[in-house]
């Protein structure tokens, strides 16, 4: 009863929020849900990119009983993630409430297999710290933490929504086939390949086989082509090329009389000088050298994902065309 009204209710609520936030941050990624109870690991949902489908199944099968087997869960997850190509991340986030694990074999061998398969395992505990969970996270490069209360649990699970940095030796460049389907007209009638039902108007048409799907992103159920929209690619771009951290500016630069423009934030145009014309805390972009206040710094790196100074310089550069 340390989580009100119960651990299961709190976990389900936070997992629902996590699934929505995950797909908002990673629109081209996929999630699969696995439950562990009665010593058996069951696949609740297969790997897919529909948040509503995962949440619907999750809310319909809440329950806990029996012993927990961490080894069976890792074996099942390894089989699910073995189909992920080399350019993709293989991650496992385990929400563990038990104080022990009842395994049929040597769990150390299973952990070694996960390490060899480049599967990054992270654990959020709801009870006390366990050695085997900590050992699993250390060997696979994941993170291990124990939630103190519901608000702390929310913070811990939301930290896993943004994608981790790619490891250079595993980030192999590959060409990926993608299709940009056309949205169906309002009055069109066709059979949806997802649910095998007749749908009116709502849906997208695969550019390769002309099959109808309900939502994006997804894989075409007929030809297997990955179907996305241009906004999905745009929202995934900033994770591949993040903005470099801004450098802290010394007070002497702000007091330079030769350049008064440095005393104002390039983002919000507010003064960087505090009361008494004393220089306050500010940062500067290492590329364009524009100065920003701390509020704009946080907004640029966490929400905007583009430097206004660099963008203004790029758009202001003239284009010279030579003929000859």
Q: What is the pLDDT of residues 20-72, one digit of tens each?
A: 989 888 877 889 999 998 989 999 988 888 888 888 888 887 778 888 999 99
Question: How confident is the model at residue 311, as a pLDDT?
Answer: 85
Structural contact between residues 41 and 87, judged by C-beta atoms closer than 8 angstroms: no
Q: Are residues 97 and 209 in the same domain?
A: no
Report how many domains make up the chain.
3
Asked if 209 and 122 sit in the same domain, the reply is no
Answer yes or no: do 32 and 80 share one domain: yes
Cα(59)–Cα(66) distance, integer angstroms: 20
Domain extent at residue 292: 247-316
Res 318: pLDDT: 52
CATH number at residue 262: 3.30.40.10
Whether 283 and 186 share a structural domain? no
Please name the helix (run of DSSP H) or strand (run of DSSP E) that holds residue 150, with its range, or none: helix 150-158
Is residue 216 within 8 A of residue 229, CB to CB? The reply is yes
pLDDT computed for residue 155 by the predictor: 94
Q: Tens of pLDDT along 151-180?
A: 999 999 999 988 766 554 555 556 778 888
Q: In this structure, is residue 1 part of a structural domain?
A: no
- Per the domain annotation, does 2 fall within a domain? no
Give residue 66's pLDDT: 86
In terms of domains, do 69 and 184 share one?
no
Res 48: pLDDT: 82
Q: What are 173's two structure tokens?
A: 């460049």
pLDDT of residue 262: 67
Q: Which residues of the chain have pLDDT under 70?
A: 1, 164-174, 186-187, 201, 234-235, 238-240, 251-262, 274-279, 315-324
User: Residue 289: exposed, middle, or buried by beta-carbon count in 10 A (0-12, 13-18, 19+)?
Assistant: middle
Say if residue 84 is in the same domain as residue 230: no
Domain annotation covers residue 322: no
């Amino acid at each position: 009863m340390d989580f009100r009204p119960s651990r299961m209710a709190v976990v389900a609520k936070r997992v629902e929020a996590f699934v929505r936030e995950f797909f908002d941050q990673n629109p081209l990624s996929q999630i699969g849900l696995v439950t562990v109870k009665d010593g058996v690991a069951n696949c609740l949902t297969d790997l897919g990119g529909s948040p509503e489908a995962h949440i619907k199944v999750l809310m319909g099968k809440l329950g806990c009983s029996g012993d927990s087997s961490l080894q069976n869960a890792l074996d099942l997850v390894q089989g699910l993630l073995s189909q992920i190509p080399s350019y993709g991340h293989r991650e496992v986030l385990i929400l563990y409430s038990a104080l022990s694990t009842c395994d049929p074999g040597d769990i150390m061998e299973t952990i070694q297999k996960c390490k060899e398969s480049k599967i990054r395992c992270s654990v959020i505990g709801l009870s006390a710290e366990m050695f085997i969970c900590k050992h699993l996270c250390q060997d696979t490069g994941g993170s291990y933490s124990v939630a103190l209360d519901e608000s702390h649990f929310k913070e811990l699970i939301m930290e896993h929504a943004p994608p981790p940095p790619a490891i250079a030796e595993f980030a192999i460049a590959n060409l990926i086939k993608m299709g940009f389907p056309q949205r169906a007209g309002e009055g069109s009638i066709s059979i949806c390949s997802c649910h095998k039902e007749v749908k009116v108007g709502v849906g997208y048409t695969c550019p390769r086989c002309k099959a109808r799907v309900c939502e994006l992103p997804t894989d075409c159920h007929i030809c297997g082509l990955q179907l996305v929209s241009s906004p999905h690619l745009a929202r995934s771009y900033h994770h591949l090329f993040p903005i470099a951290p801004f450098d802290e500016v010394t007070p002497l630069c702000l007091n330079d009389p030769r350049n008064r423009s440095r005393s104002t934030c390039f983002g919000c145009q507010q003064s960087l000088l505090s009361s008494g014309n004393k220089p306050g805390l500010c940062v500067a972009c290492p590329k364009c050298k524009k100065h920003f206040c701390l509020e704009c710094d946080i907004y640029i790196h966490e929400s905007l994902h583009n430097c206004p100074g660099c963008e203004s310089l790029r758009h202001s550069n003239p284009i010279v065309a030579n003929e000859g």
